[in-house]
Every structure is written in C-alpha cells, then in structure tokens.
Chains A and B, each alone.
Chain A
Amino acid sequence: MSNLKDTFLTPLGLNNPVAVQVLGICSALAVTAQLEPAIVMGLSVTIILAVANVVISLLRNTIPNRIRIIVQLVVVATLVTIVSEVLKAFAYDVSVALSVYVGLIITNCILMGRLEAFAMQNGPIDSLIDGFGNGLGYAIILVIVAAIRELFGAGCLFGCQIIPDCVYELGYMNCGLMLMPPMALIILGCIIWFMRAKNPDLQEK
C-alpha cells in the first residue's frame, strides 16, 4: 500500500516530470498564459496518461518488443483524438484557446516516458496510479505558472479581475512580458531553482 502511495506522491514533488525531469516543457510554455486552458490541458494530459498507462500495462506481455513504440503511439493517438473531440463538443472556447496543443499531447515526452519506463514493466493498478501522479504533477506546475502569468500579465485569474482598479489608478500596469513565452520559461526556471534549493539531493554534482 505504501508502495502505491509513493508511486502517486513522488511525481507530485521530488520526481516531478516538469520541474525535476524537465519533460513536457513546450506545452508548459505554450498554454500557460491563462489559468483556464492550463487546467484543462493538465487534466487532459492526466486522463490520457492514466488511461494509456493502463492499456499499455494490460498489453505489455503481448506487445512485440520491436514495434512497441508504434503500439504505444496508436493508443495515445486514439485517446488524444477522443479528448480533443470531447473538448470541441463541450468546451469549445477552451479548445480554441489550446489550438494545436491538444493534438500535440501525442508528442508530450511525459507520455512516452511513463509508458516506456513504467507501464511496460508494471501491473495495471500501479500504472493507473503512476499515470494520475505524473499527470497531476504536470498539471500542478502548469497551474502555478499560469496563475503567476495571468495575475501579473493581465491582472486577473480565470478571466475575473483580481487587481483592483484603484491600484491601476496609482500607476500600476500589467507586465506585458508575462504573457509572452520567454517569461513562462523564466518562471519555470524559478520553480526549478526553488525546488533544487529546497532539496539539495536534486542538484547534479
């Protein structure tokens, strides 16, 4: 039981896929200008990763080793297509905001990494937990970055104005750079910096 708990918790902190393994950076930069798309993106990746992990883990003994990447890609691509269609049907605005990045979940390194490294060696229940853990670890970083960017870049969270008008009247201005990808990279760098300062084990020698 404690093993399952570890499987779930380490990707959220000490083995975070974005902040520690530095995977999935591209989408973390692209979709984090606002909080809402970031959350949707995080959840989509979590669901796809969890389901794909279970499917691959069930198939793991029957997949011929030479074509395993193709099989994994087929599974992931199917799930991504389903999620993309669901988003278009029920959350059209968000799916427009995410544009190609939903489709590009297929190329997210976190997915292939977990399928190769975990689902191919472990049972379905472990894989399910691992998928959720890693997906949520990715989502947490996205939410933190998006919250900082939307708050300082547009003065709002979820599209509602947070910074009151009286502050603007004093001369405060939104920082336009926050809405551009370079600032997302810098914020991400700060998160990594913070995590490594807190946990010296993570620092390379």
Chain B
Amino acid sequence: MKALRNFLDKVKPNFEEGGKLSAFRSVFDGFETFLFVPNTVSKNGTHIHDTIDSKRVMSIVVIALIPALLFGMYNVGYQNYLAAGTLEQASFLEVFIFGFLAVLPKIIVSYVVGLGIEFTVAQWKKEEIQEGFLVSGMLIPLIVPVECPLWVIAVATAFAVIFAKEIFGGTGYNIFNVALITRAFLFFAYPTKMSGDQVWVAKDSIFGLGNDLPEGFSGATTLGQLSTGSPVVDLANNGVELKDMIIGLLPGSIGETSVIAILIGAVILLWTGVANWRTMASVFVGGALTAMLFNAIGSTTNQVWNLDWMQHLAVGGFCFGAVFMATDPVTSPRTDCGKYIFGFLIGVVAIVIRCMNPGYPEGMMLAILLMNVFAALIDYCFVQHNINKRLKRINNR
C-alpha cells in the first residue's frame, strides 16, 4: 500500500499542468482517487458530508454484485454441460472456469468501451473523471444473455453512455438507468440476440473446456416458456419448481437467475446503507399484489396469469431489477414517500407487462425505465405537498 502511494506521488508531477503527460491528467486523477480516498472536501455551497465519497459507494455496489456474478459464471457453465449431457463427468472447477471464460470478455468490453468514452469526455472537457460507470459497467454483462455478441454489447454500451448519460450532463444527471438503456437498446435493435430461445445457453467450447452444441440448439428461459405456453422445464427436461427458481440453475441473463446470490447482494447493500430498503421492499409488494390479482382473475389460455406470486417474484429478472436497478439513487426519487410509490409501481407495471403483453416475456426492464421518467414528478408532488402542509401550519398559527 505504502509503495503504491509513493509511486503515485513520484509520477504525479508528470501529470500536473506543464508536465510531460499533462494531457492525461484526468485519467491519472481518476485512478489516484479510485485507489486512495482524496483528503480534500467541498468547501463552498451546501453539501451533506459523509465519510465515504461516491467512488467508495460505487465500489460497495460492485462488491454486492459479485455473488450474482460468480453464480452467473457457474450457471453459464452448468447450462452448457447440462445441455450436452456431460454434467456428471465434469468437475466443479471445469464448469466454473468455462463460465468464467465465457463471461469475462463481456465484462472487459463493457468496461473498456464505457470507461473509454467517459475518460475521453472528461479529458476533452477538462473535468474530473466521474465514477458512475464503475457500477454500470458491471451491471451490463449481468443483464445480457450469454450468447450476445461482443460487438453488439460494445455498440449498445457506447449508445447508452453517450445518449443516456453524457448528453444529460454525466454521472448524477441521467434520467434513465444507464445499464438498462444498454439493455433496452439491445432488446429493440437486435431482438434475435436478446430474446427468443437461441441465446441463453453458451454454444461453443472455449480452450477445450465446455461442449460445442448444435447450431439450432434452443433453450428458452422459464418466462419464455411460460409466455409461449410450452411446458416449464429445464434443459434436462425436469419440471421447474419454486425451489429451482430460487437456486437459479436455469437459462437466463447471466446475473439474474439466482435469488440467493442476489439476496446476498441485497443484504450487503442494505447493511451498508447504500441502497434504500423502501424502494426495494415496495417493488416486491407491488409485484406480489399484482400477481395475486392476476391469479384471482385467472386465465385458461395464458399460464403467466396463473403463476403463483412467489414464483413471479423469483423468476426472471424481477429480483435483480428490484435490488440493483430500481434502487439506483440517481434515477429514483429522493423523498421517502416517493420511494414507496416509485417501487410499488415498478412491481405493478413489471407484472402487468409479463401478463398482458406476450411480446415481452420479461417486464422488469421496461417497468423500471418507465418509472425512471416519473421519478422527478413523484418527488415534485411530495415536496409541494410538504411545502403546502407546512405553510398551512404557519398560517393557522
């Protein structure tokens, strides 16, 4: 640690004004403040001070994502070996390393493209590098199918960082969740690589690990099977129950399948106070109540309507969205009451899209993006309400 500090202090003059590498000052500054907490604080204006700065907050979210990431890697391998029928012969390590090698390029692409754009913009505008992409860059690989091509992820990441973030003013000013815009772009621009039954299982072996699956091999997600009315089974043709959905060894986007892994992340986020429990809890309440409502109405043609509320919450990206996406402090409301409404409506809209729109088997992405639009309005209403209430109190005195 000490050696790193000394090294940074030694090379620092090169990056200051007039130094040899002054063109890369913001890059250096970004790395230095990422590695060490800067000992400067804001001096003017009204600021709420905390002992940790936003780089540290972002790091906690990334740590909270690690269980989902590791499980996702294992699951990628598991699905491949299961599909080829060689799961029994393979060791745990083989399965995991195959998944690791399949997922790693996606993480690298997402970070290189996203941070590349952020660094370039910061350098160009002579600003500090903003840290917002640390989390988005980790979320993006977790919410895409494993067979999504890398260049497509690169295009979508670039689109999202430029159009959902930089043009609004950078980190902290974006209206929409950047990672979800990436996913939405992929979903609408390249639907064959984001939905259907062809993309959820890794099909090629890597460095001799894993199995080559036949070209037309299909493995739909549980929600996909439900929406097309086909029997709900995993790749080995065993029926899927609530227990399987919670463990999460099912086809799906890389990080979304396991409720347990996401729950560990949720505990980290809530314990450190980074994410707000109000949003998270109300998403689940909204989703559960809506699912019960659809259960009560019932349907003979659409089996999504009859899905038990617990299964609704456990399947697909519901948990992942509720824990990591809806709680994004930038795109959700600031007021406590607003958070309840915001979360509740996300849950409601997500289940409504699942049940009512057969074109979109999963509704979580669209639900969160839709409610992002209303976050500021919800805040405005509650703030105005409070102002009026207090004014009344003064006037009545």
> Footprint of B on A, CB under 8 Å?
171-173, 175-178, 180, 186, 193
Contacts and interface: CB of A to CB of B under 8 A. Distances in A.
A175 B154 CA distance: 13
B116 interface: no
B189 A177 contact: yes
Interface in B145-164: 149, 151-152, 155, 163
Nearest to B149: A171
Contacts of A172: 151
Contacts of B167: 193
B163 A173 contact: no
B149 A178 contact: no
A171 B190 CA distance: 12
Nearest to B184: A177
A193 B167 CA distance: 10
Contacts of B152: 173
B163 A186 contact: yes
A4 to B, nearest CB: 39
A173 B192 contact: yes
- The interface centre, meaning the residue of B155, B167, B189 with most chain A CB atoms within 10 A of its CB, is B189
A173 B188 contact: no
Nearest to A190: B163
A95 B155 CA distance: 35
Given A173-B152, A173-B192, A193-B167, 18 more contacts: A171-B149, A171-B151, A172-B151, A173-B190, A173-B193, A175-B155, A175-B189, A175-B190, A176-B188, A176-B189, A176-B190, A176-B191, A177-B185, A177-B188, A177-B189, A178-B189, A180-B188, A186-B163
Contacts of A171: 149, 151
B192 to A, nearest CB: 7
Nearest to B185: A177
A178 B191 CA distance: 13
Contacts of A176: 188-191
Contacts, number: 21
- The interface centre, meaning the residue of B155, B190, B192 with most chain A CB atoms within 10 A of its CB, is B190
A173 to B, nearest CB: 6
Interface in B179-211: 185, 188-193
A186 B159 CA distance: 11
Q: Please classify how large the interface on chain B is, using the bins under 10, 10 to 19, 20 to 34, 35 or more.
A: 10 to 19
Interface string B191-234: 11100000000000000000000000000000000000000000
Contacts of B155: 175
A156 to B, nearest CB: 17
Nearest to A153: B189
B198 to A, nearest CB: 13
Contacts of A178: 189
Contacts of A177: 185, 188-189
Nearest to B186: A177
Contacts of B189: 175-178
Contacts of B163: 186
A136 to B, nearest CB: 29
A193 B193 CA distance: 31
Contacts of B151: 171-172
Contacts of A175: 155, 189-190
Nearest to B150: A171
15 contacts: A171-B149, A172-B151, A173-B152, A173-B192, A175-B155, A175-B189, A175-B190, A176-B188, A176-B189, A176-B190, A176-B191, A177-B185, A180-B188, A186-B163, A193-B167
A173 B185 CA distance: 14
Contacts of A193: 167
A189 to B, nearest CB: 8
B187 to A, nearest CB: 9
Interface in B251-299: none
Contacts of B192: 173
Nearest to B151: A171
Contacts of B188: 176-177, 180
B228 to A, nearest CB: 21
Nearest to A193: B167
- Across chains A and B, which 5 residue pairs bring their CB atoms closest together, nearest first? A177-B189, A175-B189, A177-B188, A176-B189, A173-B190
A180 B190 CA distance: 12
Nearest to A152: B189
A82 to B, nearest CB: 39
A178 B189 CA distance: 7
A176 B149 CA distance: 15
A1 to B, nearest CB: 42
A178 B190 CA distance: 10
